[in-house]
Structure 1
Amino acid sequence: MDQQLNPRDLKYFRSLKWTLQTWKPTPALIEKKGANARPYIGQGYDPVFFDLVEDGWRHDHCEVCFVKLCDNPETCQTEGYTADRQWLCRECYEQNVAVSSRLRS
């Protein structure tokens, strides 16, 4: 991918505590009339307009290169680094956050 973050984004991403995790589906609010979905994180919603689906959030994207992360190894990367509900693929984490952290030491 070889995507480099701008200095402002790099500073922000370096400030987060990243954890390597296997990606798993999470709850989502799915619109009853339409294809829109949003992650469910405990916010209120109107059940007239939305269904709460336990494993409805089926993928995320790397914040840098937009590669897809999901639980299907045939179509996605299945693990990456996560912090504050954001994801980085391993390559972008290593090229940006981990490299920058090693340079600071």
Structure 2
Amino acid sequence: MFSLKTFRVVALTEATTFLLLLIASVLKRTADAPIGVTILGPIHGLLFVGYVLIALNLKEEQGWTSKETGFILLAAVLPFGGYVVDRWLARRELPAVA
């Protein structure tokens, strides 16, 4: 149903909106500009839920262990986590050099 490529796109987008949301939160406190949080909050929320659901759906297909799946899910709540997961997945896709 979902592909690894789709998951990687969602992971990068989720990580980016998370960082933008953190920046908007800081700006809201310092400049009293809530518009960024109001817009980015729901967008990031949908991407976060999508990230988790897609990751859980891909677990068996990709052969991820429970530990790997746990790290992938933990990355969703850490700044830059989606970028780390994307890079890890990109390395796994590279064919082994003999």
Q: Which has the higher contact order (CA 8 A, sep 6+)?
A: 2
Higher helix fraction (1 or 2):
2
Query: Does the TM-score normalized on the shorter chain lie above 0.5?
Result: no
Higher strand fraction (1 or 2):
1
